[in-house]
């Protein structure tokens, strides 16, 4: 039986749980991650020295990094959420990589200040700079989703849609005035209508 270590409230754990659901995979979930269960203990650090969730354990094989885990599960099941065609697959990879390297860094300060409400994140100039950078990335997503097909890439649902929808969820959940992004909102509603995705697009703690 697959083991998924991580709390469901985590955006990165949600990626894995949603993907596993789409693939019809059975798994056992162990709740790790603050505030539920501190991963800074030897037992967990032996699996992931970053003390972060999610971690996947598959018959003794240990894997961390949410996007790598999603890809592994798609490979394991032969799921077309990671397309077989080389170019289609490269485009899914492109968007998954972009979320980590370009999108996620933009939201950091704003999320700590406005969603997690950490008092030390009180530099209003930095909050606004983070919001501006984040909105600029969401404009890129909006333009992509406005293209024919209505999915992140290849005109059909893939792992990239899971990552982007969860990023949209975070954007919508963080309280600040947002510009209209109609294609983002339409895509989000479409993702909420997927039985495997719906449970992960509701209330979350960061």
Ligand X SMILES: N[C@@H](CCC(=O)N[C@@H](CS)C(=O)NCC(=O)O)C(=O)O
The residues that touch ligand X, with contacts defined as CB under 6 A, are 10-12, 33-34, 39, 52-54, 65-66
Q: Are 44 and 53 in contact (CB under 8 A)?
A: no
* Shortest distance, position 7 Cβ to ligand X, whole Å: 6
Q: Cβ of 145: how many Cβ atoms within 10 Å?
A: 24
* Shortest distance, position 60 Cβ to ligand X, whole Å: 20
Shorter beta-carbon distance to ligand X: residue 66 or 135: 66
Q: Are 82 and 94 in contact (CB under 8 A)?
A: no
Q: What is the 3-state secondary structure (H, E, C) of 37-74?
A: ECCCCHHHHCCCCCCCCCEEEECCEEEECHHHHHHHHH
* Shortest distance, position 149 Cβ to ligand X, whole Å: 26
CA dihedral sign of residues 5, 74, 91, 14: negative
Shorter beta-carbon distance to ligand X: residue 33 or 197: 33
At residue 5, the 3 state secondary structure works out as: strand
* Shortest distance, position 12 Cβ to ligand X, whole Å: 4
Shorter beta-carbon distance to ligand X: residue 175 or 206: 206
- Using alpha carbons only, give the angle 199, 8, 13 rounded to the nearest 5 degrees: 100
* Shortest distance, position 113 Cβ to ligand X, whole Å: 17
Shorter beta-carbon distance to ligand X: residue 57 or 185: 57
What is the number of the residue whose Cβ is closest to ligand X? 33
Shorter beta-carbon distance to ligand X: residue 37 or 126: 37
């Amino acid at each position: 039986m697959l083991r998924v270590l991580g709390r469901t409230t985590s955006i990165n754990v949600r990626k894995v749980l949603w993907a596993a659901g789409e693939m019809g995979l059975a798994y056992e979930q162990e709740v790790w991650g603050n505030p539920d269960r501190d991963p800074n203990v030897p037992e967990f650090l032996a699996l992931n020295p970053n003390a972060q969730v999610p971690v996947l354990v598959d018959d003794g094989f240990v894997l961390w990094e949410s996007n790598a885990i999603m890809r592994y599960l798609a490979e394991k099941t032969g799921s077309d959420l990671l397309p077989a065609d080389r170019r289609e697959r490269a485009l899914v990879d492109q968007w998954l990589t972009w979320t980590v390297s370009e999108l996620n860094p933009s939201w950091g300060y704003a999320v700590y200040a406005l969603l997690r409400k950490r008092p030390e994140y009180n530099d209003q100039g930095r909050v606004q700079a983070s919001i501006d950078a984040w909105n600029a990335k969401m404009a890129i997503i909006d333009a992509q989703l406005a293209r024919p097909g209505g999915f992140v890439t290849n005109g059909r649902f893939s792992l990239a849609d899971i990552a982007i929808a969860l990023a949209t969820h975070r954007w919508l959940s963080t309280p600040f005035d947002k510009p209209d992004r109609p294609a983002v909102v339409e895509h989000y509603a479409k993702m909420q209508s997927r039985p495997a995705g719906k449970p992960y697009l509701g209330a979350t703690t960061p």
